[in-house]
Amino acid sequence: MATQAEALLYEVYLHAEHEEVGETPAQVSRPPADPSAPQPFGDDGTFRNPTRPHRPFPVPIHTQAVASLLGDDSDDEDDELPLSKRAVKLAGKAAVGIYGAVRTSIKSAVARVGGGDDAMRPLLVASARGAEVAVATGGTVRTFRDEDDFERLLGAFEAPAPSTSKGSAEDEKSHPDRRVTRAAWSSDGSALALATFGGDVHVITRVGRLLLTQHARSRPRGARGCPAGLALAAAPGGTHELLVLGGGDANGGALHVQRVYDLTLDDHITQQARDGSGSGKVRTVRLPGLGEDGSGVSRGAGVIRRVQGCAWTERRRVLAVAGDAPSFNPIAGDAFSSTQPGTTPLTRRAVCTCAVGLWRYGGSGGDGETPVPIAIVAASPPPAPGLSKDGALEFIMQTLGAPPPKCHVAMRTGDDEGDEDLDLAVVDPSGTLRVWRLPAGSSNLEPVKLAGEDDDCVGKRRVCSATWWSKGRLAVARHDGDVIVASVPDMSNALGEEPESFDGSPALATCPRATDDGVSQRVVVLETPPPEQTGGHRWRIATLNARSPREMLRAHLDAEEWGAAAQLARAHGLDPDEVHKARWLASPPGKEALNDALAKVTDRAWAAAQCAASVASTYEQQRFVLVYGLKESERRCGRNGDGRRISRGTGGPGSG
């Protein structure tokens, strides 16, 4: 643990608190029975989920004959069908209903217990300058700003249902594909990009006005699923470039780029006309070394096979990408891996491990521009070969329609001169925290061995979120609600002996705070109290705020924590008179206040003046204060033989 001298000075402050209406992604439950609502089994025998548009779930039977028979549910046609075909059709309907019922029941159960799917929890994102914060719950996004202390709503946006959806307005509002799974602010906080489960990406202003929608169908095949990452990069003319990393195994290692204009601004309209390209144009830019080449052959064990998260820094124009990479472990049975006589042949079995890469993207807007790779590395050692528990859970979650696994990626670049290092922290889908560092002038990402990295953290001790506090310090949250600011690499808690505790699985985001002395560290915490504690589905925004010794002293004095204030003043060389004077002014004048505060003030002239100006509540207390003040005045002043008063340190009897 950090010593007292190394302990971080901070405060925890609670900001906005919001209660969701109806279902939230954090807690899925069945709606109450409604006679007018669609029933679980319709007249045609197919399963209907009240939270989705009315259409049957996919049938795990792909026989062409059965599919053709299920195309028309007319009862009249059933009467005309031969008995054998009618039996096949009824069996197919039963399969649809049973599969849908089991699938939805398991999916609801997994969602209620969390299931390790952090995409089902509210999403938190903060702008790089720290002035804006957004919270996404389901398809609803709300924005707040530092100027309002993150308490008053700045803007709101409701993500629309995919254009392919059909149904009533209520069905579209509850459509699962409109759930926001990724979000990213522009560096100036003027725009926010939102990726949905269905693959559509929306760009809005900080007040919730829609600027652009990149439909999933506008991207190449294989990149139309739920995006694995996105960013908003600054572009010429005050515009932005939307960078989308397509989801799915077949995303091909490509970045899908689209210019974003604000057509309410004249200069943006002029810029769009000068560029000669509409807002609907999507460019596909290859990321060298990412994914597979055109022939589908992986280029080395260090490539990222499937992207699971990314981060962008505008200052260096660097994109960090994290995901899993194929690795190979030898097992018995491969004749190609061992040619020595008398040795046991080995087989190289493919397994997956976490990998990260860095690319520099200039963003000039040219169609031929290619991001420049900086470094690509894979974590070591890889997991044991075979089907792991996490792999089995991932397969089950994807089968049930859950979002693909995601990595939390946090990147820090130095803002001060002489601090050109780049630090990268990744929380992989299994809840393991890994850190890399790119020294200034180097092209090699160096893994940082963290204390306790090899410990088996399971269940609620798994890491759920991480973000950089400052150079060498990382804010880490676990699923049990504990939040620490860890010193890298020893992972000692800079907050003190105990972590800060929050409800649910907290989400963290770096949100620097502007002060008169410059920029101060701050981390936003999004906590989700359990419904049984609050009586509803709520989320709260809190902040961990770094404080200077003087700011912390003022906070202790405002809270009348005199002991802590005095200890802080001694530890950091502050004037203890500030504590004693504040304690005297906050206490009723009397004997107790004199002994506890005023007698300890070294500025005795101030103490004497306070005795003369104070008004006590009783005659006895007032007399005690006045007598103390007179005695203090006599100590400060002397008298000569003629009765004339002289001040101490003067030249002679006639002075004063």
Listed in sequence order, the DSSP H helices in 597-645 are 604-613, 619-636
In this predicted structure, what is the pLDDT of residue 448?
92
Instruction: List all residues 6 or more positions away from 352 whose beta carbon is below 8 Å from its beta carbon.
Output: 305, 324, 325, 326, 327, 382, 383
In this predicted structure, what is the pLDDT of residue 496?
87
In this predicted structure, what is the pLDDT of residue 187?
93
Q: What is the largest CA-CA distance in the chain?
A: 135
* Cα atoms in the 13 Å half-sphere on the side-chain side of 428: 25
In this predicted structure, what is the pLDDT of residue 176?
86
Tell me which long-range contacts 387-390 makes (C-beta under 8 A, separation of at least 24). 390/429, 390/430
In this predicted structure, what is the pLDDT of residue 397?
58
Element (H, E) at 398: helix 389-399
In this predicted structure, what is the pLDDT of residue 242?
94
Instruction: List all residues 6 or more positions away from 593 whose beta carbon is below 8 Å from its beta carbon.
Output: 583, 584, 587
- Examine residue 489 and say whether the peptide bond preceding it is cis (omega within 30 degrees of 0): yes
List of the chain residues with pLDDT < 50: 1-5, 22-79, 84-96, 98-117, 292-302, 328-351, 382-385, 639-643, 645-656
DSSP string covering 199-243, please? S-EEEEETTS-EEEEE-GGGSPTTS-SS-SEEEEEE-GGG-EEEE
Element (H, E) at 113: helix 83-113
Map tokens 């993150």 to a residue.
150
Question: What's the DSSP call for residue 10?
Answer: E
Q: How many helices (H) and strands (E) does the chain have?
A: 13, 33
How far apart are the C-alpha atoms of 118 and 322, rounded to whole Å? 17
Number of neighbours of residue 381 by Cβ within 10 angstroms:
9
Number of neighbours of residue 49 by Cβ within 10 angstroms:
21
In our burial notation (b when 16+ CB lie closer than 10 A, e otherwise), range 215-235 reads: bbebbeeebbbbbbbbbbbeb
How far apart are the C-alpha atoms of 536 and 11, rounded to whole Å? 28
Element (H, E) at 64: helix 64-69
How far apart are the C-alpha atoms of 147 and 33, rounded to whole Å? 44
